[in-house]
A and B are shown apart, each in its own frame.
Chain A
Amino acid sequence: DTEVTQTPKHLVMGMTNKKSLKCEQHMGHRAMYWYKQKAKKPPELMFVYSYEKLSINESVPSRFSPECPNSSLLNLHLHALQPEDSALYLCASSQEPAGSYNEQFFGPGTRLTVL
């Protein structure tokens, strides 16, 4: 299984809602990532979990709250988002430690619209 799955595929939420994005992989990868991607732009790294511990937080606003319940799951909890947070949210995973060929495997993304 060389797949990263993400749910939901699409999400529309109001600025007062609380929602969560889910990411799952069964490749035995111990690094998992959240990226935000605007249209026709490269992905922007948000968070990295290494061995289920948060290792990188790219100064993301606190309205985004990541969680890594186990080595296969990664969640992104959303609360009080702004319309400018509308984007494609990508999850990725890779092997640890960061050896030469630990490519990042990306999920299909969740298309988030904040009204």
Chain B
Amino acid sequence: AQTVTQSQPEMSVQEAETVTLSCTYDTSESDYYLFWYKQPPSRQMILVIRQEAYKQQNATENRFSVNFQKAAKSFSLKISDSQLGDAAMYFCAYRSPQYGNKLVFGAGTILRVKS
């Protein structure tokens, strides 16, 4: 079974600075999908960024980018120019093509942004 590990329970970043959230996963599959979801306090979960394993190019969405290292099974999220609105719980998630409807979530990282 696949597992997802987020080793940083909490992170802090100064406004306008850059922060990287780590995520590693364990799988024997060669094709899969990876996601970062953001859940602000008392607000709904939204997708931040996604990556397909067969694509070597790292995904980028505005200030959010990933460092996808397939061999190392690592999928870190970099947030540039951090803003107060980035404060949230961030979940890394894995989805297998074989079990397409199941997301395997990591434990989450709470990101605090200091002004």
Contacts from A to B (Cβ < 8 Å): 4, 31, 33, 40-43, 45, 48, 50, 55-56, 90, 94, 97-109
Q: Quick check: B33 and A45 within 8 Å, CB to CB?
A: no
Q: Is A42 a contact partner of B35 (Cβ separation < 8 A)?
A: no
List residues of chain B with CB within 8 A of the CB of A99: 100
Within 8 Å CB of A4, what residues of B?
44
Inter-subunit contact A42/B108 (CB<8 Å): yes
Residue tally, chain B, CB below 8 Å to A: 23
Which of the segments B14-22, B46-54, B65-73, B79-87 contacts the partner chain?
Answer: B46-54
Question: Contacts of A103 on B, CB cut-off 8 Å?
Answer: 35, 47, 50
**Chain B residues within 8 Å of A43, by CB:** 45, 91, 105
Instruction: State A50–B99 Cα separation when bound (angstroms).
Output: 12
Of B35, B37, B45, B89, chain A has the most CB atoms within 10 Å of the CB of B45
- Chain A residues, Cβ within 8 Å of B95: 98
Besides A4-B44, A33-B101, 10 more A-B contacts (Cβ < 8 Å) are: A41-B107, A42-B106, A42-B107, A45-B102, A45-B103, A50-B101, A98-B100, A98-B101, A101-B50, A106-B45
Q: Which residues of B contact A94 (CB under 8 A)?
A: 101
Residues of A within 8 Å of B110, CB to CB, are 40
Interface contact A40-B101, CB-CB below 8 Å: no
Name B's A-contacting residues (CB within 8 A). 33, 35, 37, 43-47, 50, 52, 89, 91, 95, 97, 100-103, 105-108, 110
Residue of A4, A94, A98 with most chain B CB atoms under a 10 A cut-off: A98
Q: A90 to B35, Cβ gap below 8 A?
A: no
Point out which of B44, B47, B52, B91 has the most chain A C-beta atoms below 10 A from its C-beta: B44
A–B complex contacts, Cβ < 8 Å, 13 sampled: A4-B44, A33-B101, A40-B108, A42-B106, A42-B107, A43-B105, A48-B101, A50-B101, A98-B100, A102-B100, A104-B47, A104-B103, A106-B37
Instruction: Report which residue of A4, A42, A43, A103 has the largest number of chain B beta carbons within 10 angstroms of its beta carbon.
Output: A42
A90 — which chain B residues lie within 8 A by C-beta?
44-45
Complex interface: chain B residues within 8 A of A97 (CB): 100
